[in-house]
Amino acid sequence: MKTASWAEVEEFCKRDGWLQIRSTDHEFYRKVLSDGTVLETHISFSSNKTMSPGRFMSILRTQLKVSQEDFWGTLRTGKPVARPSKPLTEPQRHEAWVIQVLTVQLGLGPSEIEQLSPEQAKQLIYDHWSQLQQS
Amino acid sequence: MAPATLPVLDFSEAKARLSDVMTAVTQQHRPQLVRRHRGKESMVLVDARDLAGFLTAYRFEPTVVVDAGEFTVELEHLGILGFGTTLDEAISDLVSELHAYTQRYFAQPGFYTYTDRKDHWPWLLRFALTEENRQADLILADMKDSAERRYRERQAEQDTAAGVPAAAR
């Protein structure tokens, strides 16, 4: 999967007609859609390094509300996205408490967690808890 | 006009007795309704800690995407993301983003409360009523609470499956 750099996310915002707003000491981009929906995003890093597919999908889905296809289309053509965008891809996400237990109680690292589906991750925790009860 | 089930004061009287009113609200935990323009406008004064306690139902339940060594923490319904190479780092970034969003939300209520973000108000007020150096703890406590709740549910499921009577659990 082709992923973006922070510089490309910022360029997308500019081409898609987002307003750059400086509020107190925080700079962010905002776009108000025709139905009144407010979208906001903060360009966390000014980098040409690409981000992981999971992070890219999370930004597309949670903040930009745009499909990968429309994201790259706007960067290519310079034309704003016609929303609603095409169906957005759902990244594999876990409830935060699951990740907390996996890292703190089971000592798993990111590379091990990445291999687990949400169901597998929870089952691992349930097995751990069962062992604790038995011991 | 708001109903007068609560203690009511007209604005001028409340202003004249503000010290007594604040004592009653903060020390006796008595909500105080204040009205002006013959009740066309009203506000409720509530102890800040009481209010924070009443808002605990508005829990922060983040989700996490882990990919290629990157942690991305999401509060999807608030449109907030935090980034890091560890969970702690990503949560710290999330808190910083949430802090900035809360500041601009309450600085521009005339904008946000007329948009689809109107319902963010109680979550952000709960966050704002938490001392700045405790805001990360607030998120972590909600996560811990979710884990403990799931642990209890899991135990109950296992007990039920094993035929343990409810009274013996």
Summarised one tens digit per residue, pLDDT across range A84-106 is: 888 888 889 999 999 999 999 99
* pLDDT score of B64: 98
B77 touches chain A (CB under 8 A): no
CB-based burial, A103-112: b 16+ in 10 Å, e otherwise: beeeebebee
* Contact list, B82 vs chain A (CB under 8 Å): none
CB A55 within 8 A of CB B65: yes
Whether B103 sits inside 8 A of A23 (CB atoms) is yes
Q: Is the pLDDT of residue B2 over 80?
A: no
User: Which pTM does this prediction carry?
Assistant: 0.91
Whether A110 sits inside 8 A of B61 (CB atoms) is no
CB B34 within 8 A of CB B12: no
Residue spans of the domains in chain B: they are: 8-46, 58-156
Length of chain B: 169
Q: How many domains does chain A have?
A: 2
The residue of chain B nearest to residue A23, with distances taken between CA atoms, is B104
Q: What architecture is domain B58-156? A: 2-Layer Sandwich (3.30)
Same domain, A39 and A67: yes
CATH superfamily of this structure's domain B8-46: YefM-like domain (3.40.1620.10)
Same domain, A10 and A60: yes
Q: What single DSSP character describes residue B3?
A: -
Range of the structural domain that residue A123 is part of: 96-134
* Contact list, B146 vs chain A (CB under 8 Å): 95-97
CB A44 within 8 A of CB A6: yes
CB B83 within 8 A of CB B90: yes
Same domain, A19 and A68: yes
> Cβ neighbours of residue B41 under 8 Å, at least 6 residues apart?
B35
CB B92 within 8 A of CB B141: no
pLDDT, tens digit, 9 for 90 and up, residues B112-149: 989 999 999 999 999 999 999 999 999 999 999 999 99
The residue of chain B nearest to residue A27, with distances taken between CA atoms, is B100
* Contact list, B150 vs chain A (CB under 8 Å): 97
Nearest by CB to A100, which of B67, B69, B147? B147
The residue with tokens 């689809």 is: B116
Q: How crowded is residue B30: how many other Cβ atoms within 10 Å of its Cβ?
A: 16
What CATH code is carried by the domain that includes residue A54?
3.30.920
Mean pLDDT rounded to a whole number for chain A: 92
* pLDDT score of B163: 84
Mean pLDDT rounded to a whole number for chain B: 93
* pLDDT score of B3: 57
